[in-house]
Amino acid sequence: MRLAALSERSGVPIATIKYYLREGLLAPGRRIGATTADYDEGHLRRLRLVRALIQDGQVPVATTREVLGHIDDDSLGRTIRLGAALWALPQPPAPNEDDPAVQAARREVDRMLQSLGWETARELSTLSPVHRSLVAAVATLMRLGYPVDAELMAPYGELMHQAAVRDLDHVETFPSEEEKVEAAVVGAVLFKPVLEALHRLAQEEESARRYGIE
């Protein structure tokens, strides 16, 4: 398809597509003339991914380029490829390791991981921005006087593992390795609000069942 058709099918303006091409976010089309190129379904899929990350997910262009680089790195195994792509997404600042609340939070998170048997998460704890984010969140709650320990977190961890199984079952429905990683990244960026909203709705429903709505 020509650039105009790619724009029409994706809903992305031609000027934006040209910008993505200049920034290396979209591979060049197959050259068929001095000023024209042909684009295929792979370009359309990648364009939708780029648009989703930048426009809907508010991921910076430079970060999007890094994420795409990991998605395209077929020298990596799927777990590392997926992990690298997800870790490249924007993360909150690292917690202050001198903070007693952070130290306490780290101990409780480690106890929780140990109780769940999540050995990979424990082994990668010093590298994982997701692990640091969890420690920081738990530390904040502790500072505010809301005790969060391994026993409280573990049942939530078990529920999240069930959600992760569902996530990866869905990812497995895509045909290629590249599409599988793309689907996981889109899910991490855009499906999170769905999970948060479902959690809130479930809380509202349970509250009404327990306490009524009057």
SS3 call for 76: coil
Average pLDDT over residues 24-40: 85
Residue (of 182, 172, 168) closest to 42 by Cα position: 182
Average pLDDT over residues 63-88: 82
Instruction: Tell me: do 125 and 71 sit in the same domain.
Output: no
Is 71 a residue whose pLDDT tops 90? no
Residues 90-140: pLDDT tens digits?
Answer: 777 888 889 999 999 999 999 999 999 999 999 988 888 889 999 999 999
Instruction: Tell me: do 68 and 9 sit in the same domain.
Output: yes
Domain of 76: which CATH number? Answer: 1.10.1660.10
Domain residue limits at 198:
100-211
Number of other CB atoms surrounding residue 210 within 10 Å: 7
pLDDT at position 116 is: 96
Contact 113, 151 (CB under 8 A): no
Supply the pTM of this predicted model. 0.80
Residue (of 171, 189, 188, 190) closest to 180 by Cα position: 171
Of 17-21, 54-58, 87-91, 151-155, the range with the lowest mean pLDDT is 87-91
Instruction: Tell me: do 61 and 109 sit in the same domain.
Output: no
Residues 183-198: pLDDT tens digits?
Answer: 888 888 888 889 999 9
The average confidence (pLDDT) of the chain is 89
Instruction: Tell me: do 117 and 206 sit in the same domain.
Output: yes
pLDDT at position 81 is: 80
In a domain, 93, yes or no: no
Instruction: Tell me: do 74 and 130 sit in the same domain.
Output: no
C-alpha angle with apex 25: 55 to 18, nearest 5 degrees? 80
Instruction: Tell me: do 180 and 205 sit in the same domain.
Output: yes
